[in-house]
Structure 1
Amino acid sequence: APIGAMNFANLFTGRAVGDFLLGLPSAFALTSFTVIDQSQRMYFSFLQDDYKVSPALTLNLGVRYEYSTPPIERENRLANFDPATGAKQFAKNGSRFGRTLIHPDRNNWAPRAGFSYSPQSGWVIRGAYGVFYSHAVRQGREGMLGFNPPFLVDNLLVANVFGPTAVASAALFRLADGYPQGLLDPNKLSPFVYRRAQDPNQRTPYVQQFNFGIQRELASNLLLDVAYVGNKGSKLPGLRNINAQAVITNPNGTQSAGPRPYTSFGDIQWMENRVASSYNSLQVRLEKRFSSGLSALASYTWGKTLTIGADHLSTSPGGPGIDIGVFSVPQNPNNLRAERGPAEFDITHRLAVSYIYELPWGRGRRRGQSWSQALNLLLGNWQVSGIHVVQGGLPLTAILGGNTVLNLGSDRVARPNLVGSPELPRSQRSVERWFNTDAFATLSPAPQAFGNAGVGIMRGPGLADFDFSVAKNINVDENRYFQFRTELFNAFNHPNFGPPDIRREATTFGQILSAGNARIVQFALKLYF
């Protein structure tokens, strides 16, 4: 079943709508795919018990076992690659491994342990440890083995010309003429074409989670919780191009890259257990339980999330991996230590405050119980609430936009060399120059090398968001009431800027080109019954 998309930019007429009216697309994508029908079985069992050592000490002990069979496809429409033989592998009838192309992982034991100790009234000490597995990859994440030729083929055509004089000669095609001829047909492909492959011995990724905290009741309805919270990710999935061109290490050579190991193939993205992560944080929480019309919660987190080697999915352009559509691949897959840095979602400091306050005036409240119906309708039974968040910025990684590394394939983008400190004093930061753009140099063409700029060595703008709401309840009877609400999002109209451009060669390098929403005010009338 084919699906596709066309993009109309201002390449030919100077206006995107003009290109569209003339039927001149700037890019055209057509994907021919087979709808796969995967299935698998999952088994989970656990044993848990609470053991009360004393009135003050309770232990929580347990163990969990998880097993998920490798996925199979109803008509065996799966394909993989065998690096040992350099040949294709297709799912086939027979043994279950023959149908799945992936070995099962039966070593998924997950112990759990925790304790709660109250040395005296108003004090509680807690701690816990547990192992948690993720079966997403072994469930065929992104249909890894089903998204290979001949079951899927991507066609992408891009026009690389500008200006009206190039319309006749350089347009991809005109809509009036139909789709271009000669696109790849998955039914006519050579069997030696691949995009994705998976280690058949890939293990189930897991995360160890641990925490230790102290809770103290400061006063009636007021609780303080201070905790250390951390986790460690192991055997996480990552991609490596096992058919990258060989690196030439001779600085006097005439080429920067040699031939591919498997000359009959292009890039082969190999998913394996190659990524690790860690998270450590101090978390402080102050909670005011509801009393006297007020409930409130304030939480502060000081944390750090580190990764070694990018995962194969990227969520932001400033992260440790370079987003190439579906995959995110390190600059040098043979040196993951150089990829160690803050995770693309890491936020060092975050403060969040929320509250609900019922104003004390009106019938049924502390004051105004004798108000007239008209006065109560106007001034009584109001409620004020808010959610306020202040946090630091996300990590940024400078890249050489559009330049592949050492001509080793189109799956990686280089990082530049670092020649100075990328940070600017807060007083010198602006939307025109958020970081020190002079701290990055482009790679010289000879000798070529991997850039030495680290991952996540800069930070983008932080966030300050203040949301308020004011609500008025109007009783109809005991079971029904109207509520009128006024809600303000970003009430102070504080600018929350997006990340700056991280492409070294771009004219907008270091500039911030986007921002979040301005103040939004909305009104609502609800009937509760």
Structure 2
Amino acid sequence: MGPVFTLLTTLAAPFFQYTAINNPGAGTFFSGITNFPANKLRATYIEPNPKRNYVIQWNLNVQQELTPNLTGMVAYVGSRGVHQPFRVDDALMVLPTKTSAGYVWPFISDPADPNFGGPLDPFNTNYGSIRGLWYKGHSYFDALELQMVKRMSHGFQVQGAFTWGKSIDTSSATMAGDAFGNSISSLNWFDLRLGRGLSDFNIGRTLVVNGTWEVPSPKSLSGPAKWALDGWQLGLIFQANDGVPFTPTWGTGDDPANTSSNDDWAYPNRLGGSGCNTLTNPGNPAHYIKTECFSVPTAPNLAFWNQYCDPLPPTLGGTSVDPNSLLCFNLRGNVGRNILIGPGLTNVDFSVFKNNYIKRISENFNVQFRAEIFNILNHANFAPPTTPDNSDIFDSTGSVSDVAGLLSRTTTTAREVQFAVKIIW
């Protein structure tokens, strides 16, 4: 499959102009707001002459009839994507320097400059924003699938399926950088290895079981008793799966790393130590992320700090960084993309049907009464923390965010009961 290009304009002059300002100061919006920079045009960059993108898929499955009514299957499914779309919402930024400790963004280093410690201009000051699309992404998928099916016999049928898989890519974006609610809208396009991780849509394990039971009734009954006890059918669907991944960030919107991007993302350091083998607190919706397992990026030693680190980050409001702390705001942290896994999902749906066949009309005429209960256990299934509001571990000053790891949304509704009548003929 060849590359796809989007030829679409949704903005007319002057609304494709763009401007942004970081850290306007407390109490400056709207009254007394500082002058915005001059409006500049937005632009879109699409890689010219891209290599052909393609996906290879393969699978192997073995099915076995265990009994006349019971069948099992084991399968392996895999795929490999090459030259996939890599989309960022804003590629305009200051290019960082690669060091032994990771990427470091430069800053105004002249103490005589009134903007000392502030960010440098991005690589092209003629534009306010540049959306980027390259065809250099890669994707990988492997999964084990198990299935067991018992066909209807003696009024009972059940089917179960289990998938254990992993999807890895360098970006899950296509038409927009944040195609999913847990996406980072502008990954580091200058080094795709930084973004290689679990796909935004990855769900590691999924189990689904469904069954139907036609409740038997005594054949000796007749009249109203037969009508009341005959034709009942019970159904159940059970689903359990792991959560989707998300990325820990910090200071989003204030550009603490001095990237000079209008779509700035900063990444903290991951810490080791006791209690940090896992990075989340399942069952704690107020503090789902273990914030104690992360820190603002720090230099490996004082010599590195003196050479590369910003002593006066703009987000500190004029306060200098203590060199002995080794805090290095403009250093990209060591956390990887999608290293945190959101809450899983557990759900049970239940149904009760009453079939009433009216043979006087036709052999198959059926007035079916249906009662369906969704999420019968009324179990709260939380969505992962909102990106970046609750995925930011620290604010732009390096202080732990009060709402880091807050789970504020659910992926399923509360218990719902639905009654209906269905006529079948």
Structure-1-length-normalised TM-score: 0.60
- 3-state SS in 2 of match to 1:467: strand
The whole-number CA distance in structure 2 between the counterparts of 1:219 and 1:250 is 65
Q: Distance in 2 between matches of 1:266 and 1:427?
A: 40
Q: Which residue matches 2:156? A: 294
Q: Residue 51 of structure 2 contacts residue 135 of structure 2 at CA under 8 Å; is this kept in 1? A: yes
Task: Return the offset for 1:357.
Answer: 2.1
- Map of 1:113 onto structure 2: none
Asked if the contact 1:148/1:196 (under 8 Å) is kept, the reply is no
- Distance (Å, rounded) in 2 between the aligned partners of 1:454 and 1:282: 25
Pairing 1:232–2:80 present:
yes
Q: Does 1:349 align with 2:205?
A: yes
Residue of 367, 389, 392 corresponding to 1:482: 367
Cα distance in 2 between the residues matched to 1:272 and 1:318: 21
Q: 415-424 or 494-503: which moved more?
A: 415-424
1:423 & 1:497 partners in 2: Cα distance?
22
Partner residue in 1 for 2:324: none
Decide whether the 8 Å contact of 2:280 with 2:289 is kept in 1: no
Identify the residue that residue 106 of structure 1 maps to in structure 2: none
Deviations 1:357-379 (A, max 9, x none): 22222xxxxx42x4213112211
Match of residue 507 from structure 1: 402
| Structure 1 unpaired stretches of 5+ | 1-132, 172-188, 323-327, 362-366
CA contact (8 A) 2:280 2:290 kept: no
CA distance in structure 2 between the partners assigned to 1:250 and 1:154 by the alignment = 26
Q: SS of the counterpart of 2:16?
A: strand
- CA distance in 2: counterparts of 1:360 and 1:289, whole angstroms: 17
Counterparts of 2:24 and 2:170 in 1: how far apart (Å)?
Answer: 40
Equivalent position of 2:377 in the other structure: 492
Partner of 2:169: 307
Aligned-residue offset at 1:490: 0.9
Summarize deviations over 1:343-392 as a string: whole Å, max 9, x none.
1111111100012222222xxxxx42x42131122110111111110111
Deviations 1:70-91 (CA, angstroms, capped at 9, x unpaired): xxxxxxxxxxxxxxxxxxxxxx
Partner of residue 412 from structure 1, selected from 264, 269, 281? 264
Aligned-residue CA RMSD in angstroms?
3.4
Cα deviation, residue 258, structure 1: 4.0
Q: Which residue of 2 aligns with 1:279?
A: 141
Q: Which amino acid aligns with 2:124?
A: Y
Shift of residue 494 of structure 1?
1.8
* 1:109-139 deviation per Cα after TM superposition (whole angstroms, max 9, x unaligned): xxxxxxxxxxxxxxxxxxxxxxxx376x33x
Alignment counterpart, residue 455 of structure 1, candidates 337, 344, 348 = 337
| Structure 1 counterpart of 2:49, one-letter code | N
* Residue of structure 2 in register with 1:436 after alignment: 290
Whether the 8 Å CA contact 2:107–2:258 is kept in 1: the answer is no
Residues 36-77 of structure 1 deviation map (CA, whole Å, 9 limit, x = unaligned): xxxxxxxxxxxxxxxxxxxxxxxxxxxxxxxxxxxxxxxxxx
TM-superposition CA deviations, 1:459-492 (whole Å, max 9, x none): 1111110001010111233243211111111111
Residue of structure 1 in register with 2:64 after alignment: 216
Shift of 1:201: 1.6
Unaligned 5+ runs, structure 2: 98-103, 110-116, 299-309, 312-327, 396-400
1:377 aligns with 2:234: no
SS at match of 2:128: coil
Q: Percent identity?
A: 28
**TM value normalised by structure 2:** 0.74
Superposition pairs of residues 26-45 of structure 1, within 5 angstroms: none
Corresponding residue SS for 1:375? helix
8 Å CA contact retained: 1:134, 1:205? yes
Larger strand proportion of the pair:
1
Whether 1:469 and 2:319 are equivalent positions in the alignment is no
- Separation (CA, whole Å) in 2 of partners of 1:238 and 1:168: 37
Q: How many pairs are equivalent? A: 358
The more displaced of 457-466 and 447-456 is: 447-456
After TM superposition, the structure 1 = structure 2 runs for residues 83-482 of structure 1, keeping only pairs within 5 Å, are 133=1, 137-138=4-5, 140=6, 143=7, 145-147=8-10, 150=13, 153=16, 169=31, 193-239=41-87, 241=90, 243-247=92-96, 254=109, 257-312=119-174, 313=176, 314-319=178-183, 322=184, 328-330=185-187, 332-361=188-217, 367-368=218-219, 370-400=220-250, 401-404=252-255, 405-420=257-272, 422=276, 424=278, 429-443=283-297, 446=311, 447=328, 448-476=330-358, 477-478=361-362, 479-482=364-367
- TM-superposed CA distance for 1:242, in Å, is 5.1
Compared CA separation, residues 449 and 298, structure 1 to 2 (3 A): same
Structure 1 residues 202 and 417 mapped into 2: Cα distance closer, same or farther (>3 Å)? same
Residues 483, 155 of structure 1: alpha-carbon distance in 2 compared, 3 angstrom cutoff: farther
Q: How far 1:285 moved relative to its partner?
A: 0.5
Cα separation, 2, equivalents of 1:389 and 1:433: 26
Structure 1 residues 281 and 263: alpha-carbon distance in aligned structure 2, compared to 1, 3 A threshold: same
